[in-house]
Amino acid sequence: RNIAVNQIGYPKNFGKIAVIANDSGIFHLVDDRLGEIVHEGNTTNPVEDHMAGVSISHADFSSWTTPGIYHIELNGRKSASFTISEQPYEQVHRGLLRAFYLFRCGMELEEEYAGKWTHQACHTQEGIVYDDPSRRLDSSGGWHDAGDYGKYSGPGAKAVADLLLAYELHPQAFYQATPIPETDGKIPDILHECRYELEWLFKMQDKQSGGVFHKLTTKYFPALTIIPEKDRDDLYFLAVSATATGCFAGVMAMACRIYKSFDPEFAHHCLQAARRAWSWLEEHPDVRGFRNPMDVYTGEYGDDLDLDERYWAAGELYRTTGEVAYHTAFLDLARKAFPKYELGWADMGGYGTIAYLLNDNFEVEQDLRSSLLSGLINEADQSVRRSATDGYLISLAKTDYIWGSNMLLMNRATLLLLAYHFSGQKEYEACALEHMHYLLGRNVLDISYVTGYGDRPVMHPHHRPSVGDQVDDPVPGLVAGGPNHGLNDDYMMEHLQGKAPAQCYIDHQDSFAGNEVTIYWNSPAVFVVSHFIK
Ligand code: G3I
Ligand code: 9MR
Ligand code: ZN
């Protein structure tokens, strides 16, 4: 039994619902500071919810709009505290963005910016080209991928793409400083932060071929207690892949457009790199997906389908340059069958679709544009429909409760917000907000999936710096993977047998298939939250 709320809060002019597991009755909204009941109501009648595995009822206090700090009480139980205000998400938004600074590799994290979570410069050595060990290349910089210290091109590109898109569509959310060492009051911090990763991504492009190395990692994962600067195994550049090269071209073309007005030289450099990557793709129309060699055990990010990454690259290059060749390539790819509304590390087609829909500078084929737009609206309608029948008001189906389900959650919300952007339909925006409520605590486990934010946040992520440092609190602002019905690690297997999908999560450091953190789970959360910063 619990009363789940968004533990950060509710914007005063949106709907406000608490979701109650296995209980119902008369609920009270209590002002935390005064200890006074300010509002009361009846919960809805309980109904079974199969995703959550409980019976749920709703306490709707939407009509209450007075700013303050509150909690809900029902039959002697209390919810977490939350605020009602015009702007409840400024801090969590900054925290989610600052997490990227805390993910940085290759430089010292200083107390001034990192607080308690400092570390020495790490992974500064040259990397060995796996397929030609006589080659050693500068490999430093960028963000660690996750709870491990690997750096992977495709996932890195997804993370940057989400952040750049957040800035492009919601620039008002990024006026305030984060702050980070580069803060200069001229260029928004989010662009400084993305540049840190982009500078590393340049190093992943093979200067000989223009293709992009799939990843830069050690052969084995270090032990969970190893802090960044103590991980000294050899680093390898693993083979060039078409998926990495496509993502690279896509994100670099995007960066060119966004950095142009701030730093034309850097923007030009991005575009050159993107063009070169595109040429590689053209020279390699038919390549096998990346596989780890036999002696490499770190993340694989295997993906046999590279049409979606090519589609993204072509869409972005066309949006940035207006050149016919990229348009033609995009149109050809658009005719092929692959997911066009996915924003995962494997299926990147959604970014191509978005690039085409947002292309205001150059001519687009109207039939294709309308069909892509109605496809997007259709996705949003489906999410709205599914959310309406879900106890916790989100769109995740049973098959979505997989490794990194919180990314699927935030990707859905991203698509909903894009649908809102194009249609102006308020229900899409409201539905996106319900998804955010789940992330920040309104879920059957009554937990905020963002470390350091909310009354009952994740405390034990599978994250080496958090485990290995001498600090009790985990590194803050990190989004955990979330419930995973596949129970893909031993700890989950042992403790979560037979649980309903949304309960397949445990806040333990050994549970990497549910409680790890990654840059590309943080990034869509930044996108979504930034929409609600006015
Ligand atoms: O695509 C299939 C889908 O068709 C199927 O219905 C569904 C049901 O299981 O699975 C889908 O595949 C999933 C795949 O991710 C793509 O989403 C797999 O189940 C799932 O196990 C797989 O998980 C990935 C995991 O690595 C294992 O490969 C995560 O998405 C990915 O985030 C994670 O990445 C790791 C890196 O390897 C190493 N660094 C940490 C990082 C996070 O844990
Ligand atoms: O720590 C690793 C994590 O970052 C990965 O996502 C995960 C799946 O590839 O693997 C983790 O490493 C574990 C390894 O796979 C099995 N032995 C225990 C390791 C955790 O310390
Ligand atoms: Zn590092």
CATH of the domain at 64: 2.60.40.10
Q: Are 50 and 126 contained in the same domain?
A: no
Closest residue CA from atom 1 of ligand 2: 148
Do 444 and 456 meet the contact criterion of CB atoms below 8 Å apart? Answer: no
- For residue 350, give the CATH number of its domain: 1.50.10.10
- Which of 298, 512, 520, 521 for a ligand 2 pocket mutation test, highest count of atoms within 8 Å of Cβ? 512
Q: Are 247 and 263 contained in the same domain?
A: yes
Q: What is the pLDDT of residues 199-215, one digit of tens each?
A: 999 999 999 999 999 99
Distance 51 CA to ligand 1 centre (A): 20
CB atoms < 10 A from the CB of 65, how many? 15
Length of the chain: 534
Q: Is residue 166 part of a domain?
A: yes
Q: What is the pLDDT of residues 18-76, one digit of tens each?
A: 999 999 999 999 999 999 999 999 999 999 999 999 999 999 999 999 999 999 999 99
Of the three residues 71, 88, 105, the one that is the final residue of a domain is 88
Over the chain, what is the mean pLDDT?
Answer: 98
For ligand 2, say whether the CB of 299 is within 6 Å of any of its atoms.
yes
Q: What total number of domains does the chain contain?
A: 2
How many CA atoms does the CB half-sphere of 217 hold within 13 Å? 26
Q: What is the pLDDT of residues 224-262, one digit of tens each?
A: 999 999 999 999 999 999 999 999 999 999 999 999 999
Q: Are 14 and 95 contained in the same domain?
A: no
Closest residue CA from atom 4 of ligand 2: 148
pLDDT value of residue 51: 98
Q: Is residue 370 part of a domain?
A: yes
Q: Are 177 and 284 contained in the same domain?
A: yes
Q: Ligand 3 being an ion, which residues bring their Cβ within 5 A of it?
A: 105, 122-123, 228
pLDDT value of residue 155: 98
Q: The complex's ipTM? A: 0.97
For ligand 2, say whether the CB of 512 is within 6 Å of any of its atoms.
yes
Distance 512 CA to ligand 2 centre (A): 6
Atom nearest to 150 CA in ligand 1: 39
Query: Which structural domain range is residue 105 located in?
Result: 90-440+516-531
Q: What are phi and psi of 37, to 5 degrees?
A: -75, 125
Q: Are 167 and 228 contained in the same domain?
A: yes
Of the three residues 53, 88, 123, the one that is the final residue of a domain is 88
Starting from the CA of residue 147, give the closest ligand. 2
Q: Are 304 and 410 contained in the same domain?
A: yes
Q: Are 121 and 31 contained in the same domain?
A: no
How many CA atoms does the CB half-sphere of 72 hold within 13 Å? 30
Res. 141 pLDDT band, cuts 50 70 90:
very high
Atom nearest to 486 CA in ligand 1: 9
Closest residue CA from atom 11 of ligand 1: 402
Res. 374 pLDDT band, cuts 50 70 90:
very high
Res. 435 pLDDT band, cuts 50 70 90:
very high
Segment 398-404 shows an average pLDDT of 98
Q: What are phi and psi of 480, to 5 degrees?
A: -80, 155
Q: Is residue 258 part of a domain?
A: yes
Angle, nearest 10°, between helix axes 349-357 and 324-334? 130
